[in-house]
Structure 1
Amino acid sequence: MPLVRISHYLALCGVASRRQASRLIERGYVTINQQRANHNDRVDSSTSLNICVDGQPVLPPQEKQYWLYHKPVGIDCRLLINDPNSLLHLLPTSPRLYPAGRLDKDSRGLLLLTNDGELTQTLMHPEFHHSKTYVVQVDKPITAEFLNDMAQGVNYAKVQTRPCSIALVNSTTFEIVLTQGLNRQIRRMCQALGFKVIDLLRTKLMEVCLDDLPEKTMRPVSAAELLSLQQLS
């Protein structure tokens, strides 16, 4: 393995995506041979290095794994060891998996869990505009004006959302396909238009579907699903 930046190496080891690993480095959580790491440090897996994140040794790169998880309401996707509601406590200890993208604590539905930092980095990078599909229930009857405004893009908090596809499911429920990943985006779009989200379910990540996967359960990503993710990324 050639020399790679420490953030890249942590991603290969399944610790986090490169972007998340960079944040860990900035905050001083990463050490190499008991010395605080910096972004310019490069490592080689063939060398004997003691690399730790928050005091925990980092295992060498492991075989890549890909799982789908149906996240329920109340689980926090941030991997915080001191939070009893963190997704971290529901994941296996080895290999260390993490979500390729997040759902907020009040939302539910499809999550991709993996230790493939390269795929995660690509899927989460904003320039690729990967599609994600949601079914959303709001607190009052949906109007044609609301659907039109959502489809064209909504302005809130100095943000202008990208145009999106939206379709009415019933009087208070719609399906929406986003190509952005802004924090609590759908909730804030609805709020800006005078609606409150009651339920938010992610049903699809690009071509990978939640289907009938029960809540709180995981299943392996199929070969065809993985190929579709890799091709679209």
Structure 2
Amino acid sequence: MEQGKSRLAQEFEKREKGQLVRLNKYISEAGLCSRREADRLIEAGRVQVDGKTAVPGQKVSDNQEILVDGKSISKEEEMVLLAVNKPRGVVCTTDKRWGDQTVEELIHYPKRVFYMGRLDKDSEGLLLMTNNGEILNKMMRAGNYHEKEYLVRVNRPVTEAFLSEMAKGGIPVQEQQTRPCKVEKTGERTFRIILTQGLNRQIRRMCEYFGYQVVKLKRIRIMNIMLGDLPTGSYREISREEQEELYRRIQGSSNQPVRENRGRREEWKKKDSE
């Protein structure tokens, strides 16, 4: 696991000592937009520094007042975005009633961060954590159809019929229907699945509907962020390139909830009663 303070945390401390950074970088790290879009905001006269209209290329420090469209950006709003490889047995909650280790305890990050798209206790793999609520909602709202990819091992051989039915969608989960999804066989008892929803224990419940039990479930991708070879129990900061691509993908995304179709297909109702 990464030891000590993160690069961003170290950079924040340097700024407290008066070190200057480019304004577009400051705005981007506040979680508002990419650097390129920040440049557009500055050029449009929508950014003020200490009561004066900002200019392209300007540098700032944390002891200055920075406004974007009249809204103040403070150090506490500077964005942190982490990729975490959650081990099985660690929980995505702050509830300590059951004595389980939480993700926050696992990573010991120096700033308060929240998970995006929880993984249940028995699942493992990629978990994103941030202190920015706007980007969190835009990434995880089901109505934005952002992809999440998983590797799954089940308790018996995977058949083509099973894969086909999983991919069709329409499976009842939490009084909703699953959307069509991408499913690919990767071994005798393993498959890869890409979802655009995040229903509670969705993959496990989809498998159970067809008589399968999930033995192992690992998330390996959220949108353009890959788990890669990140060691189990470790975290890393999202790279600048990943962050820029992420901003591009969520451009135009809503941070509002979406109503899903709560009907059930008749064929699933019939199968459920057999």
TM-score, normalised to structure 1, is 0.72
| In structure 2, distance between residues paired with 1:125 and 1:108 | 21
Q: Which residue of 1 aligns with 2:105?
A: 89
Unaligned runs of 5+ in 1: 1-11, 14-43, 47-58
1:180-219 correspondence runs (5 A): 180-219=197-236
Q: Which residue of 2 aligns with 1:106?
A: 122
Q: Please tell me the residue identity of whatever aligns with 2:90.
A: I
How far apart are 1:92 and its partner, in Å? 3.2
How far apart are 1:156 and its partner, in Å? 2.5
Q: Which residue of 2 aligns with 1:167?
A: 184
**216-225 vs 73-82, greater mean Cα deviation:** 73-82
Count of aligned positions:
180
Contact 2:85/2:124 (8 A) holds in 1: yes
| In structure 1, distance between residues paired with 2:202 and 2:222 | 16
Contact 1:91/1:97 (8 A) holds in 2: no
How far apart are 1:84 and its partner, in Å? 3.5
How far apart are 1:90 and its partner, in Å? 2.2
SS for the counterpart of 1:75 is coil
Q: Which residue of 1 aligns with 2:240?
A: 223
1:17-96 correspondence runs (5 A): 61-82=76-97, 83-92=99-108, 94-96=110-112
Contact 1:99/1:114 (8 A) holds in 2: yes
How far apart are 1:154 and its partner, in Å? 4.2
Q: Which residue of 1 aligns with 2:152?
A: 136
How far apart are 1:63 and its partner, in Å? 2.2
SS for the counterpart of 1:127 is helix
Q: Please tell me the residue identity of whatever aligns with 2:235.
A: M
Unaligned runs of 5+ in 2: 1-29, 32-70, 251-274
| In structure 2, distance between residues paired with 1:208 and 1:92 | 21
| In structure 2, distance between residues paired with 1:81 and 1:94 | 20
Q: Which contiguous aligned blocks of 4+ residues in structure 1 show a shift greater than 6 angstroms?
A: none
Q: Please tell me the residue identity of whatever aligns with 1:208.
A: I
How far apart are 1:159 and its partner, in Å? 2.4
TM-score, normalised to structure 2, is 0.61
Cα distance change, pair 187–154 in 1 and its aligned pair in 2 (3 A): farther
Q: Which residue of 1 aligns with 2:39?
A: none
| In structure 1, distance between residues paired with 2:248 and 2:94 | 28
| In structure 1, distance between residues paired with 2:193 and 2:82 | 24
How far apart are 1:153 and its partner, in Å? 1.0
Q: Please tell me the residue identity of whatever aligns with 2:208.
A: Q
Q: Which residue of 2 aligns with 1:39?
A: none
| In structure 2, distance between residues paired with 1:189 and 1:125 | 20
Contact 1:166/1:176 (8 A) holds in 2: yes
Q: Please tell me the residue identity of whatever aligns with 2:146.
A: H
| Two-structure CA RMSD over aligned residues (Å) | 2.2
CA offset digits 1:184-231 (Å, max 9, x no partner):
000000000110000000000111111110100011100111112211
How far apart are 1:100 and its partner, in Å? 1.4
| In structure 2, distance between residues paired with 1:175 and 1:131 | 13
Larger radius of gyration: 2
| In structure 2, distance between residues paired with 1:230 and 1:81 | 34
CA offset digits 1:122-171 (Å, max 9, x no partner):
11212101100000000000111100000001422532100000100001
If each structure's helix is expressed as a fraction of its own residues, which one has the higher value?
2
